[in-house]
A and B are shown apart, each in its own frame.
Chain A
Amino acid sequence: MTLTAPAKTVCVIDDDKIYIYGLKKLISIKQLSPNLMEFYNGKEAIDFLTDPENLDTLPDIIFLDINMPVMDGWGFMESFVKIKPQLGKKITIYMVSSSINDEDIQRAKTISDITDYVIKPISPDTLVELFRLAA
């Protein structure tokens, strides 16, 4: 497995530490990206994205969980749509959740900034595919 595109910056927004550990590990095993940011809820991520100092280090891909304290995945998307024009960068967002609730899946589909809805756990092959699609 070799990287054909320049290294992507990945951002994971999730309150599940074990999941973050697993995702990080898998990304490094598959050599998908050397740069990974982690946030434990939507608010932390929005705070980071809106800070002008971070303009050079914005992520290419976001893995977004739904159920989180303080600001959940939906809340994050609401804020994200508002700040998107100021970012000046295309960010691919994958919503990743263990919820198989159809209501959640349909709701994600109605948000055009969400590229896809992935049900946890992400298999290694799916992860590789998600990176390829985001290229």
Chain B
Amino acid sequence: MSEERDTTLGMFPIGMQALNQHYFANMQLHYLIESTNTGLWERNIDSNEAWWSPKFCELLGYKYGELDTSYIYFLDEIVHPDDRTLVYDSFQNHLKKKTEYKVEFRMRTKELGYRWFESSGKAWPDEKGKLTRVIGAVTDIDQKKQTELNLKKNEFLLNETNKIANVGGWELDVVNMELTWSKEIFEIHELPFDTKPDLDSAISFYEAGYRDTLSAAVSDAIKFCKPFDLELKFRTAKNNVIWVRNKGVPIIDGNGECIILRGIFQNIDNIKLKELELQKSLDLLGDHNRRLQNFAHIVSHNLRSHSGNLQFMVNIFDENISSAEKEEVFGNIRSISESLANTIDHLNEIVKIQTEISKELKPVAFESTFKNIQTALDNNIRKTRAIICADFSSCPTINYVPAYLESIFLNLLTNSLKYRHPDRYPQIICETYFDKEHTWLTFEDNGIGIDLDKYGDKVFGMYKTFHQNANAKGIGLFITKNQIESLGGSIHIASTVNVGTKFTIKLT
């Protein structure tokens, strides 16, 4: 480097040979710069002439001197078309607004297609103060840029996924019990982002009954390094009740101690409600199927016993018997035909319950319905001197099929009177009540009762009779059960022999 040129860069004589000569003149500096993987460039602002260092050419896969290095060629042929405006504008801004010239863009290499580079530079004035040249450096940042782009893509995907899946992440530092939440968790809680979460208040968002489950799971995870995955009912800060999934995995240190608990937290309300709905339909379907199968069984069994008898009588008719005997046999055939018709009537009644689609639910008053039944059975009630206490005050009406409610009352009351205790007058207590979800009806008597250990599962069966009672037909409770179940309810019996019977019915 000569004495007179040893001044600031801007004082170099204009002309592309300056940096060029300078660069090669000091070989030590030249080697140093060439080995840093940084390319140097210089550009004349007025003439668009440019010079690129050998390293610059090498970064693009060219030999020194192989490329037309003018600024026009650079913009048109080397810079990626999508980045042209960016490169041009930042250059102009640097010149006019003195903003920093530092830009990341893609350049076309000889063999590897476009790659990412970072270029920075500075404009220098000549002795008159006019900006005449720009000198700068360029580095290959392709790998860094690709990683960064991938990261951005992944971050975007993750954010989108989290948003769509309604899921967030949390971390509990077990040592100082510090809890951190991702953005989505605040959103699910419907809390402002600046809320400071802690374990106790986090657990307080869960509904009673689920709080203990989660507390126990967290404590087990910390104590025994046991992961958990729970579906829980949850109440947000804005009082919305939703289902959430909370999954926690302990991070274990070298001593086998849980130091951090990490997990995901997800709003699964939609899925869970659908699942519950599905389960409900499944139960209903299963119920229906069971009743249908039961019905098929009943049909086959009850019709078989009649057809068997009929066949039996015909066989005897074919034997060598007297005309008086034939008369007798025919009498039996007649009564078989009557019971067959009866059975078919009963089966029809059941089919009607099972298939009646137009089960129109109407508000029905318990009181008046029960009164009607009492009036219908008035003779019987008087004869047996039954005392009937009915109290429907805590739940006076229900949305039900009126005919079913009448039938239920009729069957229960008839039963209680029929199976009254011979040593005392019948006492019947009938009540309704409503708990959070269901309407219940209880019906209690002091009759002869039934040994449920012996007959438990058969009480509600068709043509099941348990007492030697001439007018026991074994159809009433069967129909009652079918009507109740067809509307989604259930019936339960408790009984003690010689003490009485109590039916507990979930109506809806």
Contacts and interface: CB of A to CB of B under 8 A. Distances in A.
Interface of A: 16, 18-19, 21-22, 25-26, 29, 40-41, 67, 69-70, 75, 98-101, 120-124
B325 interface: yes
A70 B468 contact: yes
Contacts, number: 68
A98 B336 CA distance: 15
B467 A69 contact: yes
Given A18-B336, A19-B309, A122-B312, 19 more contacts: A16-B305, A16-B309, A18-B313, A18-B332, A18-B335, A19-B308, A22-B309, A22-B332, A26-B319, A29-B321, A69-B465, A69-B466, A69-B468, A69-B472, A98-B305, A100-B304, A101-B301, A121-B315, A123-B315
B308 A26 contact: no
A120 B301 contact: no
Interface residues of B, number: 29
Interface centre among A19, A26, A69, A122 (most CB of B within 10 A): A69
Contacts of B297: 101
Contacts of B316: 22, 25-26, 29
Contacts of B329: 25
22 contacts: A16-B305, A18-B332, A19-B309, A22-B312, A22-B316, A25-B316, A26-B315, A26-B316, A26-B319, A67-B463, A69-B464, A75-B454, A98-B301, A98-B304, A98-B308, A99-B301, A101-B301, A120-B304, A120-B305, A120-B308, A121-B308, A124-B319
B314 to A, nearest CB: 9
A99 B311 CA distance: 15
Contacts of A16: 305, 309
B2 interface: no
A32 B45 CA distance: 133
Interface of B: 297, 300-301, 304-305, 308-309, 311-313, 315-316, 319-321, 325, 328-329, 332, 335-336, 454, 463-468, 472
B502 to A, nearest CB: 22
Contacts of A69: 464-468, 472
Interface centre among A18, A29, A69 (most CB of B within 10 A): A18
A19 B313 CA distance: 9
Nearest to B336: A18
A18 B316 CA distance: 12
A123 B308 CA distance: 10
B472 to A, nearest CB: 7
Given A18-B335, A69-B465, A70-B467, A100 B300 contact: yes
Tell me the dominant secondary structure on chain A's binding face: loop
Contacts of B309: 16, 18-19, 22, 120-121
Contacts of B463: 67
A48 to B, nearest CB: 16
A41 B468 contact: yes
A21 B336 CA distance: 13
B331 to A, nearest CB: 10
A18 B315 CA distance: 13
Contacts of B319: 26, 29, 124
A71 to B, nearest CB: 9
Nearest 4 A/B pairs, CB to CB: A121-B312, A120-B308, A98-B305, A22-B312
Contacts of A70: 466-468
Interface centre among A16, A100, A101 (most CB of B within 10 A): A16
Contacts of B472: 69
A100 B454 CA distance: 23
Contacts of A98: 301, 304-305, 308
Contacts of A99: 301, 304
A61 to B, nearest CB: 18
Contacts of B320: 29
A16 B305 CA distance: 9
Contacts of A18: 309, 312-313, 332, 335-336
A68 to B, nearest CB: 9
Contacts of A75: 454
Nearest to B335: A18
A70 B448 CA distance: 13
Contacts of B300: 100
Nearest to B318: A124
A126 B285 CA distance: 44
A40 B465 CA distance: 13
